Amino acid sequence: MEAALRTLTQEQKEHFDKEGYLIVKGLFSQEDVATIERTFEEISHQVVPGYFEPVLDGETEDPLKRYPRVMHPHRYNETAMRYMLHKPVLAVLEDLYGEEAYAAQSMFYYKPPGSRGQALHQDNFYLKVEPGNCIAAWTSIDAAHEENGGLLVVPKTHDHDISCPEEADSKESFTTHYVKPPKDQKAIPVVMDKGDVLFFNGNLIHGSYRNKTKDEFRRAFICHYANSSATSIGEHYRPLYDVHGKEIMPEANPDGGPCGLEFDVPYYH
């Protein structure tokens, strides 16, 4: 069952423009969330070469070896494609962009208890949407908070240029890049309920800490989008899709790359 289409208020648009991010409460119904839960529970017991390669047999000290992130599930799963093109999400994005949005990427993070976070980074360093920018739609499949490794954002950094990243701490981050926040600006936690969606600008510095709980997953369905007037994007993210699922093939931006290179993990397609 689809949530009602939303038109953002002027206040919400201004918050996104000023802070670089916006939470829209309950944009996915609880039925939607349950469908996504079931789909990725099934996927979690499979190996999909190049997209999801868990260690299914035997023990591993790193919980992310058993539950790595799922890359581009829309390329092989109908439910993931359907929710990447979720009309309430696309309606919000059209309000934020002032034009139609095209879907570029889907991901699913299980983030099991004890798993590392993802060091602070900027998404458009990887997607390279030009001209314009990418926007992420980060959907909570579990309630997300500080203890289970909910997202962190550095407000107002969407106005900053893309930075050259430093190397992250491999003990705390499963990805290799780290972008240091500007002086006097700090990362703040984003607390979300199931079905809430966090939208944020591609230049916004964001990341997450370790999941410090012993029994809580922090699952999230995350998609990236481009403005329809963009003419190029990183090769890794083509083709794009419009609201009807039609493929759009912009030029390949040679500077793009996968969304966060992982320590000791091969390049995902």
- Residue 5 in this model has a pLDDT that exceeds 70: no
Fold of 10-199+211-253: Jelly Rolls (2.60.120)
Q: How many helices (H) and strands (E) does the chain have?
A: 6, 16
Instruction: Kindly state the helix (H) or strand (E) to which residue 189 belongs, with its residue range.
Output: strand 188-189
Place 262 in a pLDDT band, splitting at 50, 70 and 90: low
Q: Does an H or E element contain 140, and which?
A: strand 134-140
User: Please, are residues 117 and 209 in contact by the beta-carbon 8 Å criterion?
Assistant: yes
Residue 267 has pLDDT above 70, yes or no: no
Give the pLDDT of residue 254. Answer: 84
pLDDT of residue 266: 37
- Mean pLDDT for the chain overall: 93
pLDDT tens profile 101-117: 999 999 999 999 999 99
Nearest-angstrom CA–CA distance, 227 and 100 = 6
d(CA 18, CA 121): 19
CA pair distance 60, 70, nearest whole angstrom: 18
Sign of CA dihedral 69, 149, 212, 29: negative
* pLDDT at residue 258 greater than cutoff 60: no
- Contact between 187 and 101 under an 8 Å Cβ cutoff? The reply is no
Query: Crossing angle for the helix pair 10-19 and 87-97, nearest 10 degrees?
Result: 70
CA gyration radius for the chain?
A: 17
Per-residue DSSP letters for 82-140? HHHT-HHHHHHHHHHHTS-EEEEEEEEE---TT--BEEEE-THHHH--BSS-EEEEEEE
Task: List the end-to-end C-alpha distance of the chain, in Å, as a whole number.
Answer: 32
Q: Kindly indicate the confidence band of residue 255, based on its pLDDT and cuts at 50, 70 and 90.
A: confident
pTM of the model: 0.93
- Give residue 59's pLDDT: 75
Per-domain residue ranges for the chain? 10-199+211-253
* pLDDT of res. 7: 82
